[in-house]
Every structure is written in C-alpha cells, then in structure tokens.
Amino acid sequence: MHVRQRQSTGVPGLDELLGGGLLPGTLTVVAGATGIGKTQLGVQFAQAGLAQEGERGIVFDMASRGDAQNHAAYALRMFNWPLEAADPAKPPPFDGFFAAECPRFDYLHVFDDRGQRVTRRDMGVEAWHDWQAEIATKLAVTIGFFYGAFVRGARRAVVDGVEPVERPSESIQFELFEYIYHQILRKESEWVARDLFREHYRSQAAAAAAAIYDARSIGCLLLVTTREIMLDELIERRLDEGDVLSNANTVIYMGKTRSGRTLGRGLYVAKHRGSASSDEIVPYAINDAGLSITV
C-alpha cells in the first residue's frame, strides 16, 4: 500500500506533536476563538506547500460579517507573499482555462461583507433562500478557484471565516463547506472538471485529462471560530452527531490558558486518527513570523 507523505503544518514544533505532520486526503479542523492565531496557522500551512509540493496552498474565506481575517497582511508580513485574490463576481473563463498564462489565484472571499447572519434559525425563510441563491451563483467561481489551483500544482486548501453556531447543520457556511469538501476536494479531478465546465466540458475534456491530479494528495485545513475562549472549555465541549469536528481526521484546539494571574496561549491535539500524537497541552507564541511552539 502506498504511504502518503505527511504535510508539514509550517509551524515549528507542531509537526512533531502530530507524528510528523498532517495526512493529505483528510480533513483537519482547527478550532478556537477570534484572535487566537488560527489564521496565522492557516497561512503557515499554505506557505509550507511551496517547499514541500512546489506550490503554495490556497485560502478560501467564508467570512460574511465584514470582520477582516487579515490573510493578505499576514502573508505579506510573514512570507513576503502578495496574495493574488480572485474576483467573487467573475466566473473563470472556459476558453484558455488551462493555458499557462491563465492566472492561479491564492485567495477567494466568496461572500459580500453585508453583516449577514449565517444560521437558519437566525433568519426568515426569505433570507435563507437568498443565501441559497447567492451560493448557487458563486459555485462556478468557487469550483474554478479550487480546481484552477489544483491543476496547477497546489495541494493544500485552507478554509477560514467560519463563524460560531449552535448547530452546524443549520449554518449556511457549513453547508457550503460540505459541498466543497465532498464535491471538490475529495472528488476525482475529471468529475470536478465536469461540474465546472458543464455543457462546455467536451471541448475541455482533453485538457482536463492531461491535468489530472490525485484528490488523495490534497490536505484541507478548516479554521472554525468558537465562542469558547479558554482551552479547558474547548477540551470539555461535547461534539454533536454530524458536527464537522466529529467527522474530521484531526482536531486541534487553540485557546487561552491560565497560570495563577497570567493568561497564555495553549494548543491541544484533541484527535489525530492513524498516528501517534501528544496528549500534552502545549504553549505557543505568536510574533511577526507567525505561530511557534514554545517548549
């Protein structure tokens, strides 16, 4: 059986806690409150693809309330990486999609900043249908963003901007992520191409066949914002059936820790199927270079 090479997180000290890194072809969820360092970790994971796979990963931002995730600022400051952003209102061109001069985008913020609520119970029927309609219009852009990066060598996807909700099954963000994960990230590349090009697929079939990639080589990092701030609270939280954390291969919690009158930051690997991992709560620090383990 072929053993897949683990993907480095790009965070000094974290790969060792994960038995060598993350497993491609699986889902890793990083959960923690706003400002705890999730986005920096995501940018570091995407950047690490340059050394390991020859291409940086991509960042898909689902924030809907206008809160700046600072991806571009982090990438530029930490790695001198100017993120090339895709236009969420501009579907990819079918003619020339596979041409060398066709750009490969690094970042897509798919929703408009309109302060929208993201859970079904927080909105009326009309608002829920408006969300569904908006997603439908953005699917071609979304599929083209991921597929265009993967056929050009990217093997890492970071999904950020997911807001805290009581029931993930009622969140429009989780609904979109489920589609992305199962219908793009884990689907054979030929079928992703069919979904993207649709009635134009026949004219693109030969180019798509020449650009086949293995979906099992793609790693996905989902960054989820939680209401819980303290790491102890995250560790104690109950996972509902169908919660994305319960279905992930790897779950990493990031939260505040308390030692006497001092607050710090701590990281805990709550789940890591198929490999050894530490049961320790590990302190970490954040500086201009990003996140690093401090033990």
Question: Would the pLDDT of 153 be above 70?
Answer: yes
**Predicted confidence band of residue 1 (pLDDT cuts 50, 70, 90):** very low
Which percentage of the chain shows pLDDT scores above 90?
63
**Predicted confidence band of residue 2 (pLDDT cuts 50, 70, 90):** very low
Q: What is the mean pLDDT of the chain?
A: 88
Distances in Å between the Cα of 25 and the Cα atoms of 43, 87, 142, 187, 261 are 19, 27, 19, 11, 42
pTM above 0.75, yes or no: yes
Alpha-carbon distance of 254 to 283, in angstroms, equals 10
Better-predicted residue by pLDDT, 98 or 4 = 98
Tokens of 195: 């979904």
CATH 1.10.10 fits 26-224, yes or no: no
**Predicted confidence band of residue 275 (pLDDT cuts 50, 70, 90):** confident
Alpha-carbon distance of 54 to 161, in angstroms, equals 26
Better-predicted residue by pLDDT, 172 or 17 = 17
Mean pLDDT of 261-288: 89
For 37-88, how does the pLDDT look when each residue is reduced to its tens digit (9 = 90+)? Answer: 999 999 999 999 999 999 999 999 988 765 556 899 999 999 999 999 999 8
For 203-245, how does the pLDDT look when each residue is reduced to its tens digit (9 = 90+)? Answer: 999 999 999 999 999 999 999 999 999 999 999 887 655 567 7
For 154-166, how does the pLDDT look when each residue is reduced to its tens digit (9 = 90+)? Answer: 999 999 988 887 7
Predicted pLDDT of residue 213: 97
Which percentage of the chain shows pLDDT scores above 70?
91
Tokens of 235: 């560790």
Give the residue extent of every domain in the chain. Answer: 26-224
CB 108 within 8 A of CB 86: yes
Predicted pLDDT of residue 295: 74
